[in-house]
Structure 1
Amino acid sequence: MQSPEWENINVSVLQEGYREGAFWLRGQLRNDSPVPVTRWLAMGSARLQDVQLHLSEPLTAGVPGAGLRWQPPQVAGTKYASAQREVQGRTALFALTLAPGEQRTMVLRVAGSSVIELGVALWDPAVFREEEGRELAIQAFVIGIALVLVTYALIQGVEWRDRGSVLMAVWICSALLFILSFQGYLYLYLLPRGGMWLVRVPITLGCLTTLLHLRMSYLLVSLDQLPRWERRWKRIYDVMSAALIVVTIWIAAGDFRATAPVANAIAATCYLMWAASMLHGWRHGLDNARLLAISFGLAWSAMWLKMLELNGLIVHGILPDWQFSTLFQLGLLGVASTMVVGRALQLHHKFEQMQWSVLSLRMREQFKLEQAVNHRTSELRAALEVADHARHSKNGFFTSISHDLRTPLTSILGFADMLQAAGGEQGRYGRIIVRSARHMLSMINDLIDYAHGDRMDLSQPRPLYVHGLLQTIGQEGAALARRQHNAFSLDVSPALPPVLRIDAPRLRRLLGNLLDNAAKYTREGSIRLEVGWQAAAVRSGTGVMEMRVSDTGSGIPLHYHASVFEPFERAGADRSQPGLGMGLALVRQWIQQMDGQIALQSQPGQGTVLTLQLPVALADEQDIARDDCREDSNTHPLIDGTGRRLLVVEDSPDIADLLVEQLEMLAFEVELYADGESAVARIMQTDKPAPALVLTDYLLPAAKGGEVLRATRQHLPGVPVLLLSATLRPPTDRPDDLAFDACLLKPVNFMELQETLARLLGLPLPQLGSALAGTVAAVGTVAAVAATSETTGDTAGQDPLPPQESLQQARVLIDSGAVSDLLDWGDALLQQHPQCAGFQSRVGQLLREGDLFAVEALVNTALEAVRAGE
């Protein structure tokens, strides 16, 4: 400070650009007024990094600078925290107070990595704050307008999905931050602790703003539409963007003093190239190019002047900082306002064009659609007419064929009933035939109902005796297993409840398909059906019925496990086996419709195990419908119980009523008791007539069937006890003298009941030949009529026979099994030959009963009689 090499300067602002080292300024301060004066020494630039003020002690006389004593220095600049400064402000400020006539020497030391820009001025504090407030108000007004434009651009970009508008909003925000950092507002309000970052932020934000401006301009102007230049401008803009990205990162993290001039040069070059591209686009008629070039001209000019100043190429006084900021912001607002409004108008026009295009396309498509709908409607109307005709034809076909499908089964049922009447092994076979035929008749009825449009895919569970159902399925499975010399076994868990709410026809088909598959692919092996029960753990009254069908057949390879459940897939099995491969597909479909699951375990040569898990609900015996309490619908009396008393113990009213009704029809005297306790009391009464047989249920109120058995053995020795149970396995933990004489399963099969009663009571059963006597009664009547006519030649009082031609036509229909055509033949016979009404009536009755064999015998006898009479 005592150096003699001080030089006088005659400029108001000293602009030295980027220089190393420190700059020193010395001056004299004197107060010539009669009062103390306070002034603020202000440095013009807000970007000065390190400013120190050295102030001498007061001088009242002598030569300035001689023998000076210096006060501790005051500091300012972005290097220091705002709290270290005596006067707060966005620029470097020092407070100076001089007494009247006082004179001092000041020395300023300025150093830093950024541009050295010195402009020293003394301000009255009130005037300075007034000027500062005015600048701040202008700045807030400009920022407010800019934020409104940012909001509008963002809304416009999001609403219309316009990337250019969104990029414009981001660019405006970046430019505002650049201006605020350039003027020192970031240091004043956001980063008051100071530091090197305040030196890097302005130029870093400047490079980022330039990068965003380039990308926004390229997108809004659509430079890729310029003929023969689309690839060139794209390459140029990509190179400029890459350079700006590199220099921005370098400025933020590298050597600032070495990078800052390079960054300014790159930014200046980018703006020159931008101007050239806008002029090129303007020349080729790109509207946004003209708009950007005009609107950004003011801001672009201010920025270029400031760059020249920062590098010391022009005099500072042309454009002070606040004027540059104002000019740049006004240019920025002009650019933003013009672009936002212009972009909005452009998008609105484009949107209107799109609306008109869509409306035009919609009208054309609507017209085409109307034509297609009209054409399709006419086709559908024609198809509906064809379908309606086909439906009527189908209904007529099924109406006629339903008789042809049902009648053979009805005949089978009739002859099976005769077999049941024979008793013994033939009776057992007859019962199996009856159950299977009824099951097939039910499936035929379902098929016909489905053909008529009824739903078959809905499960219809209802309460039934599940053990009886399983025994029937087991008998069918045993018959299937015997076809290829297989052994069959049925294992039902004792835990399985006797009555469940289940869809019996569907369950029978499920297990029937699985057993049929097992029987097809197993030879001289074994087939097993196991049924278990798992009570529900969460909700009472329900459980899971687990059914497992296992065999020792050929097995299924692992890679076929998934495909065997698909329609028409047979897992590479022997194609000589009958079937279409639909069995397992239907099983899976049905079990899923019943909310169940199916699992397959199989290996080649080790057999197959299929497991079904079916959730079912528990039911009570009282819930079973009356028609489901009996297995057979038609009962022929086989035995005569006259003079014999039966004691019946049954708690279900429906079953009790059926037993009493059927037993009384067989001439038995029946005593009915609804609980075991009252039955035991009756057995113990020796003064009343002893029953010939006791028929009891097992699960009874008050006392079980075992107590009834014990009382009978004790008080009525020699009287047989017949158990009618809902489970497959009667209790076996009793001595031989306390075992039931016979056991029957519910639902009640009265043919089987009659056979069992005949065996236990020693009653005779009719022979099979006498059971057929009723079938040929009608034939004998016709033969007698023919013989009478032939002997006497007088048909008075007898039904006349049809002509030979008509009877021969009937024989053709009988040979083809056309039952419906036979009914039509009878109607035509009655119209053409009313005198044959009796014959026609007998034929119709036999057809309704399904006895085609009797009809054939009747027609053959009549035909022989007519031929003999000729």
Structure 2
Amino acid sequence: MSRLRAALLWSWLLLCSLLSPLVLASPAPPSIELASIATHQVITPQLQVLRDARASELLSTALASGPWEAIHIPMLQEGYSTGAFWLRGQVRNDSSEHVTRWLAMGSARLQDVRLYWLPSLPSSSAHTADDVIPRYAGTLHPIARREIASRTPLFPLTLAPGEERQWVLRVTGDSAIDLNVALWESAAFRQDEGRELSIQAFVLGVSVLLVTYALIQGIAWHDRGFVLMAAWIVTALAYIWTFQGYLQLYLFPQGGAWLVRTPATLGCLATLLYVRMSYVLVGLQRLRPWNSVYAVIQALLIAVIGATALGNYRVTAPLANATAALAYVMWLASLLHAWRAGLPHARVLTLSFALAWLGMSVKLLELNGLVDRSLLPDWHFAALFQIGLLCMTALVIIGRALELHRKHDQMQWAMLYLRVREQLKLEQAVAARTRELREALEAADQANRAKTGFLTRISHDLRTPLTSILGFADMLQTGGDERARHGRIIVRSARHMLAMVNDLIDYARGDRPDLPHPAPVYVHALLQEIGQEASLLAQRQHNAFRLQVAPTLPPVLTLDARRVRRILGNLLDNAAKYTRDGRIVLQVQWHPASAQSGMGVMEMQVRDTGCGIPLHFQKRVFEPFERAHADRSQPGIGMGLAIVRQWIQQMGGQVALSSRPGEGTTMTLRLPAAIGSEHDVARHDAPEDASGRLLIDGEGRLVLVVEDHADIAQLLGDQLGSVGFAVELYADAERAIARMAAPDAPAVALVMTDFQLPGLHGDAVLEAARRLLPGIPVLLLSATLQPERGQEDGGQFDACLLKPVNFLELQETIGRLLGLQKQEPSCEDGTAPPLQRPAPADLQEALALIEMGAVSDLLDWCDTLQRRNPVWTGFVTMARQLVMDADLSTLEALCQTDQPVQSVDE
């Protein structure tokens, strides 16, 4: 018996130890029958809750803990909590079929929701609880991990006939805790979800329409209020969709911890945009006390947005709600003040959004657990709030648009009134101005006629003496020796002056603008001519002149030669005027841009050792009518350097001045130019002699011409052939040297050669001529200035002419080299034809030219008569001789229609 008693005692103790947890545990929650739920049923009051401050992860720990208690109304909205909440419920199936119902939690903001579906009763025990695999939902988990894709936490519960089971929910997260739970029939849930989606689609369509309209109006009217309103609508809708779970369901199905921050962050951003929009639409800047208030509110909202997005959400979320509430309170107070002050849109904003913000205030109280959510069901409240908000927003947008259109119409009418009034004033002013303009036009016509008459007279007065100078200087060119050189200088200077006179008259008439006209030119010959003129200028005050041209300067450049001549002429003239017993140097250098571009910069420096320019005056020396020196005895009006700077800038160049008083002045010109070819200037850059008079007779003499440019070679051949020479043309030095070495070839009287030839240059031609044709002179025709050569080994050319060659100068040089006598026209030749007088009209033309002293025109008149009718050759010969002898009085008597023709010797 003792053994039996001991066995019974141990059995009793073991049974007590097994039943003790059940005795100490809380009573099981009431069982809910699933088959009886036709559509849905809120089961929150029938559940038990356990507050777990430590947020335990183990189900067994939660089941063993206590006490489990019933859910009271304050627990439905717990707000923000750091612990975990465990919900426990029990369901059964009393029907004869399998039954499935969906367990749904009403809030889409819950971050981490786990369902533990315990085994069937009575097999459930604590030691098997940790083996239950949880099901997941909430913003922390991807949509794909859930059993049912939905915007809210949703779990399917399936029971066999007669089966009864318990389930446990674990809810944690940084968001506000919402503990409302319901059981849904699946078809009823999808039907309710479809109605909500239809409303959201309608809201989205209306929102897109309002945003598009607001943006169009904002861009069209340049109105910031419309733009802010469009931004606010988009942000507010994004906030609501995030609040309801659509953001994760359709855009970010992967979920994440950051999604919990989006509602509060977007809510504060929408509040900031709304406050700013109201400030702009109402014009609260007119009420000065609210300027600082709104600045502080906006700064607070911006700071809270950053803190909510990046900081501790449990701490910043209540702060964001409080700041938003404060902003709306200040907004309402400012709008009431603006309404009282009569500001536009204050009343419509206050009335339109008062109801909406009242609902939002209640929602904020609900989020913080101060109001029972059953008063405002979730999606019903959201749908009503969105529809009402959109209707009120549409009212505001339409009102704003009508106001802008009304203001626009008022401005249009005001502008029309002003236009009509100004038009009346303008018509009166036009009538008065028309009379004044008519009188001024008549006076201008009289002045224009006077100007035209003046220009006609000045043209005659200026051109007539220049024409006479040209004619007599042209005759000096035929005299030979030093007179011919002086005659050529006079001709070039006179032609240069005549061109300036023509430009001045054309500019005064307005015939053409004073623009650069670049053309290919032999730049070395141009500089040589300028140097000859500058040498004469320098000799006036006993100055030495020197021309320095860099060997790298190309022979042909594309530039405005007329302007370059005038620019350098002005600078050299200034240097000659202000320098006595000193030196004047014209130095020209070439700076190529690149080997392939064919461009470069020609740098021209005019240096003198004159009196210099004071430092304080150097900045004004290029201004019109400014003269740097106090000595006014020198001629000029102070326009030279102004014209230099204007023209050099028009040609794309630069001018610089460097001067020291008492030491001299240096003017530096930098002119961009393109490298040209002799083919481009062979014909149009003709020499200055137009008379074509013959000074020598080369009959019976052979000239060997070495020139690689066909046009220049043909021109030389024609000119030499016109004075009787036989000409042989060669395009390269090799063939010409081979011709010199030919034993049976005709004798050569003269060798003319270019310097820059393909292959061998002119030096090789000179050396071959000295070796193969001793005693035969060699004449160099070059486009570049050649350095001085030594006399040893016959290394010096007999003569050198620069291109383009003056035909008279060429004849004079050949005559000197070959010892030819100059031909003089004679009227005593017994074989001369009988004199016959030209037509009276021709004689009257000659009398008019004689009256003007136009010597060169008279020579052209003679040539024209001889070409027109050879019968007049005797008369033309006599007239030409009289013109060349400057005997215009005898020529005038000869051309008198009533005078008989007689010999010149008489």
Q: Give the structure-2-normalised TM-score.
A: 0.70
Correspondence for 2:668:
610
Cα deviation code 1:134-175 (max 9, x no counterpart): 222222222222222222222221222221111111111121
Structure 1 residues 1-80: aligned runs within 5 Å? 1=63, 5-9=67-71, 14-19=76-81, 21-59=83-121, 72=132, 73-80=134-141
Does 2:312 align with 1:251?
no
> What CA distance in whole angstroms lies between the structure 2 residues aligned with 1:80 and 1:621?
85
Q: 1:658 to 1:621 in 2, by over 3 A?
A: farther
Taking only the aligned residue pairs, the percentage that are identical comes to: 55
SS, match of residue 313 in structure 1: coil
**Structure 1, unaligned runs of 5 or more:** 664-669, 767-816, 821-844, 859-870
Once the two structures are superposed, the pairs formed by residues 467-478 of structure 1 within 5 Å of their partners are: 468-478=525-535
What is the aligned partner in structure 2 of residue 118 from structure 1? Answer: 179
Q: Which amino acid aligns with 2:295?
A: D
Corresponding position of 2:220: 159
Q: What amino acid is the match of 1:146?
A: S
Give the SS at the match of 1:516: helix
Q: CA shift at 1:343, angstroms?
A: 2.0
Distance 2:89 2:242 in 1: 30
Does the 8 Å contact 2:721/2:727 carry over to 1? Answer: no
Aligned residues of 1:758 and 1:764 also touching (Cα < 8 A): no
Q: 2:568 aligns with which of 511, 517, 521?
A: 511
Decide which moves more: 258-267 or 315-324: 258-267
Opposite residue 284 of structure 2, the aligned amino acid is L
CA-CA distance at 1:322 after TM superposition: 1.4
Report whether the alignment pairs 1:266 with 2:323.
yes
Asked if 1:698 corresponds to 2:753, the answer is yes
Q: 2:457 aligns with which of 396, 400, 404?
A: 400
Work out whether 1:672 is the aligned partner of 2:764.
no
Aligned-partner SS, 1:296: helix
1:814 alignment counterpart: none
Is the partner of 1:57 in helix, strand or coil?
strand
* 1-structure distance, mates of 2:780, 2:70: 136
3-state SS of paired residue (1:201):
helix
Give 3-state SS (helix, strand or coil) of 1:675's partner.
strand
Is the partner of 1:100 in helix, strand or coil?
coil
Q: Deviations over 1:554-612 (max 9, x none)?
A: 56688877765544455678776543443333234334545556566666637525345
Query: Following the alignment from structure 2 to structure 1, what is the Cα–Cα distance between the partners of residues 597 and 83?
Result: 94
Q: Tell me the secondary structure at the aligned position of residue 154 of structure 1.
A: helix
What's the RMSD between the two structures over aligned residues? 5.0
Match of 1:180 among 230, 241, 255: 241
2:687 to 618, 629, 640: 629
The structural deviation recorded for 1:377 is 4.8
Q: Quick one: structure 1 residues 28 and 487, their matched pair in 2 at CA, closer, same or farther if it must change by over 3 Å?
A: same
Contact between 1:500 and 1:619, CA under 8 Å: does it hold in 2?
A: no
Q: Does 1:239 align with 2:293?
A: no
The aligned runs of 1:419-458 (5 Å cut-off) are 428-429=485-486, 431-455=488-512, 457-458=514-515
Corresponding residue of 2:153: 92
Name the residue aligned to 1:221. 282
> Is residue 308 of structure 1 aligned with residue 365 of structure 2?
yes
Q: Is the CA contact (8 Å cut-off) linking 2:73 and 2:372 kept in structure 1?
A: no
Partner in structure 2 of residue 349 of structure 1: 406
Name the structure 1 match of 2:833: none
Structure 1 segment 136-147 matched on structure 2, within 5 A: 136-147=197-208
**Equivalences for 1:651-730 in 2 at 5 Å?**
670-675=724-729, 694=749, 697-699=752-754, 729=786
Alpha-carbon separation, structure 2, partners of 1:622 and 1:66: 115
In structure 2, the residue matched to 1:801 is none
CA spacing shift, 1:289–1:540, aligned 2, 3 Å: closer
Specify every segment of 5 or more residues in structure 2 that has no aligned partner in the other structure, as ranges.
Answer: 1-62, 706-711, 825-850, 855-878, 893-906
Distance 1:653 1:546 in 2: 34
Checking the alignment, whether the CA contact within 8 Å between 2:236 and 2:266 is kept in structure 1 is yes
SS in 2 for 1:233: helix
Residues 327 and 298 of structure 1: CA distance in aligned 2, closer, same or farther (over 3 Å):
farther
Question: Could you tell me which amino acid in structure 2 is paired with residue 58 of structure 1?
Answer: S
In structure 1, C-alpha distance between the alignment counterparts of 2:311 and 2:612, rounded to whole Å: 76
State how many pairs are aligned. Answer: 761
Change in Cα spacing, 1:681 to 1:53, as seen in structure 2 (3 Å) is closer
Cα separation, 1, equivalents of 2:721 and 2:562: 29
Change (3 A) 1:359 1:850: farther
**For residues 680 and 82 of structure 1, do their structure 2 counterparts lie closer, same or farther at Cα, with a shift above 3 Å needed?**
closer
Task: Indicate if the aligned counterparts of 1:464 and 1:624 stay in contact, CA closer than 8 A.
Answer: no
Hey, what does 2:350 align to over in structure 1?
A: 293
The one-letter code matched in structure 2 to 1:216 is: M
Mapped contact 1:673–1:679 kept (Cα < 8 A): no
Cα displacement string for residues 811-846 of structure 1 (whole angstroms, at most 9, x for unaligned residues): xxxxxx9999xxxxxxxxxxxxxxxxxxxxxxxx9x
CA distance in 1, matches of 2:252, 2:764: 101
Between 320-329 and 75-84, the greater mean CA deviation after superposition: 75-84
Amino acid at match of 2:727: Y
Q: Which secondary structure does the structure 2 equivalent of 1:91 belong to?
A: coil
2:740/2:772 contact within 8 Å kept: no
Range moving further from structure 2, 420-429 or 130-139: 420-429
The answer as to whether partners of 1:649 and 1:679 remain within 8 angstroms in 2 is no
* Partner secondary structure for residue 547 of structure 2: strand
Structure 1 contact 695–724 (Cα < 8 Å) conserved: no
Shift of residue 436, structure 1, vs aligned partner: 3.0
TM-score (norm 1): 0.73
1:157 alignment partner AA: G
- Residue identity in the other structure for 2:677: L
User: Given residue 327 of structure 1, which amino acid in structure 2 is its aligned partner?
Assistant: L
Note the C-alpha offset of 1:460: 4.9
Q: 1:523 aligns with which of 573, 577, 580?
A: 580
In 2, Cα distance between the equivalents of 1:471 and 1:68? Answer: 118
The residue identity in structure 1 corresponding to 2:212 is T
Q: Distance in 1 between matches of 2:221 and 2:127?
A: 75
Deviation, structure 1 residue 329:
1.0
Matches within 5 A, 1:687-836: 694=749, 697-699=752-754, 729=786, 747-748=805-806, 750=808, 757=815, 761=819
Query: Conserved in 2, the CA contact under 8 Å of 1:411 and 1:851?
Result: no
8 Å CA contact 1:282, 1:290 repeated in 2: yes
- Tell me the amino acid that sits aligned with residue 126 of structure 1: A
* CA apart distance, 1:513: 1.7
Preserved contact between residue 15 and residue 310 of structure 1 (Cα < 8 Å): yes
1:619 paired to 2:674: no
Q: Hey, what's the Cα distance between the residues in 2 that align with 1:461 and 1:252?
A: 71
Q: Please state how far the C-alpha of 1:243 moved relative to its aligned partner.
A: 3.0
Distance 1:490 1:432 in 2: 17
CA distance in 2, matches of 1:498, 1:206: 81
Structure 1 pair 564–749 and aligned structure 2 pair: CA distance change class (3 A): farther
Distance 1:91 1:524, change over 3 A: same
The DSSP-based 3-state class of the residue aligned with 2:180 is: strand
Q: CA deviation at 1:432?
A: 3.7
SS in 1 for 2:676: strand
- 1:136 and 1:525, CA in 2 relative to 1: closer, same or farther beyond 3 A? same
Q: Structure 1's 733 and 321: CA in aligned 2 closer, same or farther, altered over 3 A? A: same
Higher mean C-alpha displacement, 731-740 vs 46-55: 731-740
Aligned-partner Cα distance in 2 for 1:315–1:634 = 122
Letter in 1 for 2:683: I
